[in-house]
Amino acid sequence: MPAPDVSRARRRLLVCQGSVCQAAGGLEARVVWQRRVGRSEGHGTVVVPTACLAMCRAAPVVVLYPDGAWFGRARARRVGLIWAAVESGTPRDAPGFLYRRADPEAPDGG
């Protein structure tokens, strides 16, 4: 898989490839994320594999950056549902949504 061009990306989808996430389906999920996000050109999102994100109990884990939205149990079969919620601006409605960091700049605190 070619290295993603993160320099021009507006967002990054961090896909954990730590050992626990790999054992929970993270390898397959990464391939599906790559295909799904790759079809969404114009949104400026790239898939970036990462080391352990220290949320192993929710493996496999993905994080949308800089949005700060975390998703657990993000197996291949859930990629479409998660991404649809992200694209529609309702990531909290996605299956496996864990939390979103508070945005101190937002009027409601994020």
Binding residues for ligand FES (CB under 6 A): 16, 18-21, 52-56, 59, 61
Distance of CA 85 to the CA centre of its chain: 12
Query: Cβ distance 71 to 97 under 8 Å?
Result: yes
For 45, residues 6+ apart whose C-beta sits below 8 A from its C-beta are 9, 10, 11, 12, 13, 37, 64
For ligand FES, the closer CB: 43 or 100: 100
Q: How far is the CB of 16 from ligand FES (least distance, A)?
A: 3
Q: Which is nearer to ligand FES, 41 or 61 (CB)?
A: 61
CB of 77 vs ligand FES, minimal distance in Å? 18
Output the smallest distance, CB 59 to ligand FES, in A: 5
E strand residue ranges, 1-110: 11-16, 45-50, 62-65, 69-71, 97-100
Considering the complex, state which of residue 18 and residue 91 has its C-beta at the smaller distance from ligand FES: 18
Beta bridge partners of 50: 16
Nearest CB to ligand FES, comparing residues 16 and 94: 16
